[in-house]
Structure 1
Amino acid sequence: MRVDLNLFTVFEAIYNEGNLTKAANTLHITQPAISHSLAKLRGHFDDALFVRQGHQMTPTPLSKRLIHDVRNALATLNTTLLSNLEFIPENATNLFKIGLRDALESTCLPPLIEATQKTAPGIKIVSLRHNRKTMENDLSSGQVDLIIDVAQPVSELISRKQIISERLCVVSRKNNPNIKTVLDLETYLNMNHVVASYRASGAAIEDVELNRYGLNRNITLRCQHYFAACQVVSNTDLLLTIPESYAQLLKSKHSGLNIHAFPIESPSVDIHLYVNKMRSKEPEIEWLVSSILTLFQQTSSKPTTY
């Protein structure tokens, strides 16, 4: 039995959007056309494929088994069709969607935009706060083109390359009466701290490292953004432990801050670039990935003396 390949494009759109109307809008076709295509697929597989739950279309177990093969097949076809198309940066007008968290947006976007404005002035970039729980699905579905984040578990369908490795450091306000010349471990543990995290609870990377030595600190404030945490630190005696590049950025904008070495030996904070392996063969994605890898190899942080 022959199957129209367009039906699998519809299948992927419904899976990605979880809603027939949204899938229709994504494909720029009518909802009746989506419903008709879904009916054909249901008949072919003898399975509902998607079950309505409220406003959502929830995939059946069969759909969950099919989605990876469908995405790979569509990506392979797309790559084949694009293989002879050359990506010319200076003439490009592409829109790229990059998944970034708060702190990385501040440190990664400025050099990236500066570089791409010189080589591809016509492109546009959208920075999105991605969901780590769905990042693999978002990369496979094209909701984001690539993601820059700390180490996350991914399957063999996703390519992961380290682009940044940096140390943790500690930020305090200038003239903090609790800190003499060097911030030692005893002083660090005796002081109060602020943690910046989107999670309501859970250990930060510095707490994991302290716990390895049987040490704990007192966290007075937990907030969502590094910038807000830094504003608190600049007006109190609290300490903030963050990656070095963001600390240097904050200090360059705020003269009332000091940066100190983290008082114990700690692992580096490794930042990775994530991209779907099949999509990485598309000329424009290949160019963007290559540009980012080259950029951060050139601007990788060097050891700093505080």
Structure 2
Amino acid sequence: MDLKDIDLNLLVVFQQLYMERRVSVVAEKLGLTQPAVSNALSRLRKMMDDELFLRTGRGMEPTPYASQLAEPIAYALATIRETLERRVEFDPAHSTRRFTIAMTDLGVIHLLPRLMSTLALMAPGVTISTVRNTASDLGEDMEAGRVDFAIGLLPQLKSGFFQRRLFKQRYVCMFRSGHALDRKKITVKDFESAQHAVVIAGGTGHAMLDQTIERRGITRKVMLTVPHFVALGHILASTDMIASVPERYARESMQPFGLKYLPHPVPLPEFGVSLFWHAKFNREPGSLWLRKAVLDLFSD
């Protein structure tokens, strides 16, 4: 007998018939018609090459072979049922699991301090590893479980992924305190005349900033381009350049680097920062727990 030829439903009928001994009762308990139960028994007899159950005045009596099969079939079905119903609980207080989160350096600056402070209290043994969310194989890494989550503006993560919005941001203009533009408002003319430091965040949705500015026919004197935000605070603090940055980053950078910011003179759309995870891990207990922790901390 080949396992691929076995219909698991037939074994369920076998077990129920062994316990109840009456086709009508089995049909009622399994939500089947009596002919359907009789048909299942016929298939079982053919598969097992044995009558299995004989009709008597006391009901359907099992044959010796059926009695021999009853215990291992019951055990196998119970094992399958327990396996499918089992949910391995995630105990944050005692877990030593390492989670990998893909995010930009903006995420590292804005999100990680609060997240790590929370984990220190709720899950002291849990560790976090971050990777860049601009990798071309990010989707594959998340599907394979090498990356647990991604946070950011990631329009490329579509089919097969879930997402939850954390918050929305707007762009602002940031510069050092005492800058010539350190006043109440920046005009488009001021913006075009200034020297700019530009962050090229390839692989993220932040490219829409540059595209929108170009579409509006606005020119910038770009003096410096950098691949990330990490050094931007140091650069702006010691030069006369300005930068277009997300407002939450600007708020985090004001005090450490002596910077200020004003509303952007160019009408730019707000953008959403979301939490992404692969559908394969949607109900995985550890993933569920950390997702909830992130949402509780950062969701608007």
TM-score range, shorter chain: 0.5 to 0.7
- Counterpart CA distance in 2 for 1:82 and 1:88 is 18
Aligned residue for 1:278, secondary structure, equals: helix
Q: For residue 167 of structure 2, what is the aligned residue in structure 1?
A: 164
Please tell me whether the aligned partners of residues 179 and 187 of structure 1 are also in contact (alpha carbons under 8 angstroms): no
Closer/same/farther in 2, CA of residues 2 and 157 from structure 1, 3 Å limit: farther
Q: Which runs of 5+ in 1 are unaligned?
A: 4-76, 301-306
1:229 to 225, 232, 244: 232
Please tell me whether the aligned partners of residues 162 and 270 of structure 1 are also in contact (alpha carbons under 8 angstroms): yes
- Counterpart CA distance in 1 for 2:85 and 2:127 is 20
Name which of structure 1's ranges 187-196 and 127-136 shifts more when overlaid on structure 2.
Answer: 127-136
- Counterpart CA distance in 2 for 1:178 and 1:163 is 32
Aligned-residue identity in percent: 24
**Count of residue pairs the alignment pairs up:** 221
- 1:1-306 correspondence runs (5 A): 83-199=86-202, 204-255=207-258, 257-297=259-299, 300=300
Provide the TM-score with structure 2 as the length reference: 0.67
For 1:46-88, what per-residue CA distance to the aligned partner results, in whole angstroms no more than 9, with x for missing partners?
A: xxxxxxxxxxxxxxxxxxxxxxxxxxxxxxx9xx668422222
Closer/same/farther in 2, CA of residues 81 and 108 from structure 1, 3 Å limit: farther
Please tell me whether the aligned partners of residues 105 and 230 of structure 2 are also in contact (alpha carbons under 8 angstroms): no
- Counterpart CA distance in 1 for 2:296 and 2:264 is 29
Q: Which structure's CA Rg is the greater one?
A: 2
Question: Letter of the aligned partner of 2:246 in structure 1?
Answer: P
Closer/same/farther in 2, CA of residues 150 and 235 from structure 1, 3 Å limit: same
Aligned-pair Cα RMSD in Å: 2.5
Aligned residue for 2:93, secondary structure, equals: helix
For 1:181-222, what per-residue CA distance to the aligned partner results, in whole angstroms no more than 9, with x for missing partners?
A: 42222101111100122549x984332222332222221110
Closer/same/farther in 2, CA of residues 114 and 154 from structure 1, 3 Å limit: same
Please tell me whether the aligned partners of residues 134 and 202 of structure 2 are also in contact (alpha carbons under 8 angstroms): no
Question: Letter of the aligned partner of 2:169 in structure 1?
Answer: E
- Counterpart CA distance in 1 for 2:206 and 2:290 is 34
CA shift at 1:288, angstroms? 0.9
Please tell me whether the aligned partners of residues 195 and 241 of structure 2 are also in contact (alpha carbons under 8 angstroms): yes
Runs of 4+ more than 3 Å apart = 80-83, 178-181, 202-205
CA shift at 1:130, angstroms? 3.6
CA shift at 1:131, angstroms? 4.0
Provide the TM-score with structure 1 as the length reference: 0.66
